[in-house]
Structure 1
């Protein structure tokens, strides 16, 4: 079942050919992990969504409160019999139908879809030989728009096809300054000794919810130093560990980049600390 503007409908043909999210990518979305009816990091998701809508000059409806959207998400989870398990939630917001580049109407439309997830909390996936490489056909533009979670994902689609054609699990994206920005589906962290680097938002990486959580965990650990700084491709092979983050997986270690193989020691420690934080919150 899909939630379309508060109405539960069957998951088929609920978007028309005139939908602006479909035609122009004129939409923003949040991907949320729900565990037994609890939306993880919901406050962070909500405020990122509100900020994204403002940047995209969408008029935020008066009823778009944190409580309202949470209730709509939970209603959709319940309708799909997933309240007692874990689920991936996609909350999509667009400007509905009509217009060319200039919208005809100011009205906002939303839809919510869910799918089951196999695991509740986070664990390190040591997927055999999780290998990545650089995607250099197209580049991310540094700046505010690149940090938003919008439906404009052409580079992620092309990079995913490129990775699949080469037998890799993922690719790392570069910005126009030739700095490493992120992976196709998550933020990047580079470990060297006790220092952990991640690209700054100014470089054009996604303003990831899990990125924010991991930075807080690292800052509060007392054992590691976090640095938000540009990352050169040359730093990757010199690193002790590389790992990716998103709210669904948590942390995905990179085991191989070109000829360099990596360990997962610090990634495992950080995911342990994250799970402790979730249990006590």
Structure 2
């Protein structure tokens, strides 16, 4: 079952057509959200990011699109799915309504909420082989639109195909200045000694929720120093650790890039602190 504009609908219902602007132009945003036993992890951060992104894309925000309303709709959708175990991965999609070509006829929006079952209640650090490589066929633009979680993910799709064809678990994306920006499915963090470093939003990386939470956590710790700055491909092979973050998996350590192999000590430490923040947040 899915939620389309507040109505619970069977997931095989045909309720969109060829005029959908998300399909035609990628005129849509989405949030991937973790929900455990009725608690939406970092819900305020997700909501505020969605509202800010809708304003940037000049979408009309409905008067009833409050944090409380959308929370209610998310939980209603989870409850409507009989496979619900209390652990849900939620995808909330907002798209501009039909009409017009590049120029929309209207700015009003619709939304869809869909859910799938999660395996674990909290973030679990997977200590498995996880090799990455640079994806250099195409580049991310270093601008504000790249910070948004829009439906325009063709670069991520092509990069994922490349990774599969070449036996990698993930790829790292570059911007036009050849700086490392992020992974295919999340933000990138680099550890060197006690320095925790991640690319700046000015480099074009996604304004990720877990990225934001980890920055907040690290800045409060005496054990680490933090830097938000460009990362060159050359730096990757001098790092002690690399890991990828997103709102569903939390932290995924990278074990190998080319001939360099990495540890995961800091990733383990931060994963524990992230789970604490998720319970309290």
The two structures share one fold, judged by TM-score above 0.5: yes
User: Which deviates more from structure 2 when the two are superposed, residues 45-54 or residues 103-112?
Assistant: 103-112
Q: For residues 150-176 of structure 1, give each alpha carbon's deviation from its aligned partner in whole angstroms, at most 9, with x where no partner exists.
A: 000110000000000001010000000
Q: Distance in 1 between matches of 2:277 and 2:149?
A: 25
Aligned to 2:54: 53
Aligned to 1:69: 70
In the alignment of these two chains, the number of paired residues is 280
1:116 counterpart = 2:117? yes
Q: For residues 121-146 of structure 1, give each alpha carbon's deviation from its aligned partner in whole angstroms, at most 9, with x where no partner exists.
A: 0121112x200000000000001000
* Kept after mapping to 1: 8 A contact 2:59/2:96: yes
RMSD: 1.1
Deviation at 1:58, TM superposition (A): 0.3
Helix, strand or coil at the partner of 2:220 = helix
Unaligned runs of 5+ in 2: none
Unaligned runs of 5+ in 1: none
Q: Which runs of 4+ in 1 moved over 3 A?
A: 81-84
Aligned to 1:218: 218
Deviation at 1:84, TM superposition (A): 4.5
Aligned to 2:87: 86
Aligned to 1:162: 162
Deviation at 1:15, TM superposition (A): 1.8
Deviation at 1:120, TM superposition (A): 0.7
User: Which deviates more from structure 2 when the two are superposed, residues 271-280 or residues 99-108?
Assistant: 271-280
**Mapping for residues 82-161 of structure 1, pairs under 5 Å:** 84-127=85-128, 129-161=129-161
Aligned to 2:186: 186
Q: For residues 49-107 of structure 1, give each alpha carbon's deviation from its aligned partner in whole angstroms, at most 9, with x where no partner exists.
A: 00000000001111111001110111001101466521110110011222111112222
Helix, strand or coil at the partner of 1:217 = helix
Q: Distance in 2 between matches of 1:216 and 1:81?
A: 37
TM-score, length of structure 2 as denominator length? 0.97
Helix, strand or coil at the partner of 2:61 = coil
* Kept after mapping to 1: 8 A contact 2:8/2:77: yes
* Kept after mapping to 1: 8 A contact 2:84/2:117: no
